[in-house]
Amino acid sequence: MARISLDNPAYYINRESSWLEFNRRVLEEASAPENPLLERLKFLAITASNLDEFFEVRVAGLVQQIEDGYTEAGPDGLTLLEERDLLARNTHEFVRDQYSCWNESLRSQLHENGVRVLGLHELDDRGRAFVEEYSERELD
């Protein structure tokens, strides 16, 4: 029986791209009208939280490797710069889709169901004071 060389990049999936594809599947759940509205909102929130962590950990690590001068391609055949560029393109598209899900679907459906999402400028003095106090207490 002939041995297969495992050096072929076609045999490997880029870990970071795979992670983005997983997050895209979560976003598909946020966009699926057959899911309950508040569940869809949760799915969208999960994608946002996941993307934050992705940049804080994985993309930061990739950038650090680039800054440290690593040039070797990974098992998938991508150099770090190629991987960075691929992730940038895919992430920009993903964020556009997140905004589309929110702006073109969820926000209006929430409003139709009596849930209003207000901007800071739409709050009265009492509402702004609450947000300020909450932010200082929870985020600082």
**Angle, vertex CA 100, rays to CA 47 and CA 46, nearest 5:** 10
Which pTM was predicted?
0.84
Q: Which pLDDT score, from 0 to 100, does residue 3 have?
A: 86
Q: How far apart are CA 54 and CA 61, in angstroms?
A: 10
Q: Which pLDDT score, from 0 to 100, does residue 58 have?
A: 95
Q: Which pLDDT score, from 0 to 100, does residue 33 have?
A: 97
Q: What's the Rg (C-alpha) of the chain?
A: 21
Q: Which pLDDT score, from 0 to 100, does residue 7 have?
A: 86
Q: What is the pLDDT along the chain (140 residues), one digit of tens a residue?
A: 788 888 888 899 999 999 999 999 999 999 999 999 999 999 999 999 999 999 999 999 999 999 999 999 999 999 999 999 999 999 999 999 999 999 999 999 999 999 999 999 999 999 999 999 999 999 87
For residue 52, the Cα-to-chain-centroid distance in whole angstroms is: 7
Which domains, and CATH codes, for the chain?
A: 12-139 (1.20.58.310)
Which of helix, strand or coil describes residue 32? coil
Burial of 96 (0-12, 13-18, 19+ CB in 10 A): exposed
